[in-house]
Amino acid sequence: MRKKRIMIIFLIVLIMFGAVLFFRHEKNKAPKISYSIIQAKIGSISEIVETTGEISALNRVEIKPSISGQVDKLLVDEGDDVKKGQILAYISSNDRVAILDAVRANENEKLAEWENTYKPTPVISPMDGKIILRNVVEGQTITNTDILFALADKLIVLASVDEADIGSVKVGQKAAITLDAYENITVEGKVFQILEEGKNVNNVITYYVKIESDTFPDFFKSLMTANIAITINEIENAITIPWLAINEDDYGNSYVLLQEKGNYSPIRKDIKIGLQDAEKVEILSGLDEGDEILMKNENFSLGDKNGMKSFMKMDMSRKKNSEILGVDNNSNKKKRG
């Protein structure tokens, strides 16, 4: 009976020990990594500054009446294009309203005569533009401080650029504009003014940049939210590769891995990189068009701890590519000057 009990205890300890070894092995097991062979290609690459802003009027004018009284007649509505000097509305003064009301009550047959004698006051457009606001209706009583219309001569995009990026933004640079309301439509624009005074919001300094376009669609409306990508540098006919193919050694030197025919072990090739965008990197030296290089394919899911850890430490995994493939970096280490 005693031997049987000892045997059971021994088996339990053995199972627990095996379980500990198994889970430790699973915990430390590296994510599966595979490599694809890709080619260096000739193409264009751009460096951009991404920001947000809003549709705004270049010049916005609020039109108020010169007299107090009553809105006699409105001749334009929101969305109408108007010319400088065009009559937008007629206003009857308080005296005219009182006289005409008395005539209607007592001598209605003479109303036309009195209307011609005491003519209403016209409201004149001060410039060419579009009516973006009509703030009154016919018959409304107003004072000379009330806003009748708002007039805009031209719609622009007013972008807010962080002070860390404003030094790279220049007048004349291209900008791609999309609206939250029309995400699938991109409009091309151009930077035409950078305002001098910054704005401090919660200790973050930003500067306003004005962007214009000759092809703003009709659905662009004042105060719509815009997403802007300003191209601050663009290179045509550059040698490019995906940035996932770039590796770094412990000294910060960039390199790629080449798979030569007849050679099982990959070969390290030092490179010098230039512009980078969201997908690719410009190669300044070290590669030619058509060179075949190895690019890591690492699959992971958000529920996979190893995969997420690898994703969060992407720079570290890039440094370890050569170790996984057995490339010796020691003979090629160089300090960056």
What pLDDT is stored for residue 133 in this prediction?
Answer: 92
pLDDT average per 10 residues of sequence, the chain (337 residues): 65 69 60 75 90 92 94 94 96 93 85 89 94 94 94 92 94 94 91 93 92 87 92 90 88 86 77 87 90 73 40 41 47 40
In the structure encoding, which two tokens stand for residue 236, read together?
């045509």
Q: How many CA atoms lie within 13 A of 9 on its CB side?
A: 6
Output the pLDDT for position 156.
93
Domains of the chain: 25-44+237-332 (2.40.420.20), 49-57+154-235 (2.40.30.170), 61-152 (2.40.50.100)
> Residue 77 to residues 53, 65, 69, 141, 259: CA-CA distances in angstroms?
27, 16, 20, 18, 70
CA angle 159, 165, 169 (to 5 degrees): 65
Whole-number pLDDT of residue 63: 96
Sign of CA dihedral 145, 149, 153, 156: positive
C-alpha dihedral (16, 19, 21, 26), degrees to nearest 10: -160
Task: Kindly report the pTM of this predicted structure.
Answer: 0.61
User: What pLDDT score does 98 carry?
Assistant: 92
Query: Which letter, b or e, does each residue of 27-52 get, where b requires 16 or more Cβ atoms within 10 Å of its Cβ?
Result: eeeebeeebeebebeeeebebbbebe
